[in-house]
Every structure is written in structure tokens, then in C-alpha cells.
Amino acid sequence: MLLSTDIWVAALIRRTELGGGFAVVARKGDARAGSVLVKVLNRAQGTTRLYAEATRGDGERVWMQPSLSDQEPELDRYIERAARIDPDIWVVEIDDREGRHFLTEPVEQG
């Protein structure tokens, strides 16, 4: 059984804080079943990455980069478009010196 989105997001924020990063909910969606975008800021390198959750054909939950850009304004435009399409979407922003995403599920490289 999958966790509700609000509990999953709280766990991600807690993992981030325990790892020395900072995380905040930038956009709150449906508490039970909203999808999630994770925006990772690495201010030391001046880059940003965006991760979106997806489900493989076998039902496994994975994360992918929907845009390979590392430019924050471009990724913010992607987030805006996604929120217009899906008003239940969550956005979690993580600021980490090492650029870590703190996701425990598999992350597919683009």
C-alpha cells in the first residue's frame, strides 16, 4: 500500500533535513493522491534539477527528469505548466550544497 502524498512529502522533507539539506513545500496539492515534482537546487554550482514521479509498466514507482535543463527559470515554467494541467500536484523544493535529491525510490537517468 502506498502512503498518502502528504505523509510521503513529510518523510522526504525529514530525510532532507536529517541529511543537512533544506526542503519546503512550494505548492501543496491533494493530500491523499496528488503527484509530486521535486526541484533540487545546488546553489554552489548554480544548477537546478527537476524530478517527476512516474510508474513503470510493472507498477514500480520511479523518478525521472522531465526536462534535462539545469536552468531554474526554464524548470519553473515547466512546473507552472504542470500545475495548470494538474491542480492537485505538489512541488517540493530542496536546497542542498551537494545537489542531493534525497529520493529513496529508483531515479532513472535521462
What CATH number corresponds to the domain at position 80?
3.40.1530.20
| Lookup result for grid cell 500536484 | 89
Give phi and psi for 66, each to the nearest 5.
Answer: -70, -20
Instruction: Give the separation between CA 74 and CA 72, rounded to whole angstroms.
Output: 5
Instruction: Give the separation between CA 72 and CA 75, rounded to whole angstroms.
Output: 5
Question: What per-residue confidence (pLDDT) applies to 43?
Answer: 86
- For residue 104, being part of any structural domain is answered with no
- For residue 108, being part of any structural domain is answered with no
- pTM for this prediction: 0.92
DSSP code of residue 107 = B
- For residue 23, being part of any structural domain is answered with yes
Domains in the chain, number: 1
pLDDT tens digits along 7-64: 999 999 999 999 999 999 999 999 998 899 999 999 888 899 999 988 888 888 899 9
| Lookup result for grid cell 527559470 | 73
pLDDT tens digits along 77-102: 999 999 999 999 999 999 999 999 99
